[in-house]
Amino acid sequence: MKRRVTVLGAGPAGLWTALSLLEKHSEIEVTVIEKENSPGGITGSFRYRDLIFDYGSHRLHPATSSSLMGRISDLLGDDLLKRPRNGRIWLEERFISFPLKPVDLVFHLPFSFSFGVVLDSLTSVFSSRSEGVSFEDTLRSGLGKTISERFYFPYAEKLWGLSPADLSPVQAKKRIASLSIGKMMKKVLSSVGSSSGSSGYFYYPVNGFGQIASRAADAVVNLGGKIILDTEVVSVTPPSEKQHGTVVTAGGSKFETDFLFSTIPVNNLAGILDPAPPPSVVEAAGGLLFRSMVFCFVEVRKSQYTPYDAHYLPGLDTCFSRLSEPRNYSGTDEPQGRTGLCFEIPCTEGDGVWSLDDDGILKLVLDDLAKTDLPELEVAGFVVKRMRNIYPVYDHAFSRNLSTVEEFLTRYSRMVSYGRQGLFVHDNTHHTMEMGVAAADCLSADLHWDTEKWADYRELFSSHVVVD
């Protein structure tokens, strides 16, 4: 019999593990189980009235490794486009270019903001920088009062649902690449003439970002793998060297497996293990917090809403944190006379926003849109989708809780939890794909798991910082 490997989740990590395994070991039988009705997870796409929508503003960053970029290019061919970056951010009640440019800091922001940044920069030369005990302390020490209080603090509360004082300093390290005014200004200054630099462009598939996941899924199937969609896993008995494991679905189906890769949220994994973990582990898993997202996709009677691919709105006065226009990513001019917009609304599952009906979500979006300088919408249609477990929230207890859960999971020699949700990390899509390739690299044809190599990869993963 072939050795059976099961992958939970058909997001970037799961798909690239399955693809890499099948390319290396044709003698392994690989099955991917996904609860949604299409592959890709949040990196997927869908069609609505001939418009292609992504689940938020996704693009392939130039920081993607050459080996991974080459493999993606093989899958997509001419459908992978190199596109100029053209975003804006709503700051101090006006739109400026994002990433920031020197001219905006000098001429397009209020004098009080620009002067405050300069003053904070001069003050930082004579003060010692400390990490602090919270996100708030770390940013104020590194970036100064002005940028922290008037930009990052409200954005942090909006995205993660906690005040900056209630967030771990690790949240700052993982989400903000430049944690000092000097580094930030260097980055801003490097954007001069950036049309040829790495911050001035990105890669994007002609048929939506989800085309990467769909092509990877097709490749998995063509190599003999199985992808089972629209199937939720409700119980997992991890395999061992002496006995196969069992995966049970909500429909009652059972899959025997000899090795299990899990990319589902690590707290969910702990909740479906059979036998159940000790109460201390269950409690720790329950203490790991994820932020959810409501997406409002709007069809607009206009060929182009704005020439910008994405608008960032960090303030607490608008419900949505980002607005993107997919056709500006791909440069398509079809369909004529209509375009689509995606509004991303961070929330917590079960809160007031999450529980609003679809008409209420649209009204909330339109009311808050009127608070900006963006054009009024002529809505032709809309659809609302909700997704759980989007952003890991690093409160002050997350590290302790995560360590408790991960230490327990190490007792299973033939089950690995990884991916953005499995490792409870903030990563770009290319990081997560590379994580999937790395996981496959650690498994031999006889299902021996190389723990030392995986530890080295984990050390590499820990250095990842989200790139804008």
Q: Is the pLDDT of residue 237 over 70?
A: yes
Please, what's the b/e burial string for 77-115 (b: 16 or more CB within 10 A of its CB; e: otherwise)? eeebbebebbbbbbbbeebbbbbbbeebbeebbeeebbe
**In sequence order, what are the residues at sequence separation of 6 or more whose Cβ sits closer than 8 angstroms to the Cβ of residue 233?**
8, 33, 35, 247, 248, 249, 250, 264, 272
Collapse the DSSP code of 426 into the 3-class scheme (helix H, G, I; strand E, B; otherwise coil) and give the result. Answer: coil
- Report which residue type is found at 71: R
Domain boundaries, the chain: 3-44+63-81+205-287+396-461, 100-190, 289-393
Distance of CA 89 to the CA centre of its chain: 19
H helices of 382-465, where?
398-409, 419-422, 429-441, 451-461
Collapse the DSSP code of 289 into the 3-class scheme (helix H, G, I; strand E, B; otherwise coil) and give the result. Answer: strand
Q: Is the pLDDT of residue 66 over 80?
A: yes
Q: Which of 45-59, 110-124, 365-379, 419-433 has the lowest mean pLDDT?
A: 110-124
pLDDT score at 179: 61
Cβ neighbour number for residue 363 with a 10 Å cutoff: 12
pLDDT by residue (tens digit) across 149-198? 999 999 999 999 999 999 999 988 887 766 665 666 565 555 555 444 45
Q: Is the pLDDT of residue 199 over 50?
A: yes
pLDDT by residue (tens digit) across 288-303? 999 999 999 999 999 9
Average pLDDT of the residues in 68-92: 95
100-190, what's its fold? Answer: protoporphyrinogen ix oxidase, domain 3 (1.10.3110)
CATH 3.90.660.20 is right for the domain spanning 289-393: yes
- The DSSP element (H or E) to which 67 belongs, if any, is helix 66-76
The mean predicted confidence, pLDDT, of the chain is 92
pLDDT score at 463: 86
pLDDT by residue (tens digit) across 433-456? 999 999 999 999 999 999 999 999
Q: Which of 34-43, 167-176, 282-291, 452-461 has the lowest mean pLDDT?
A: 167-176
CATH superfamily assigned to domain 3-44+63-81+205-287+396-461: FAD/NAD(P)-binding domain (3.50.50.60)
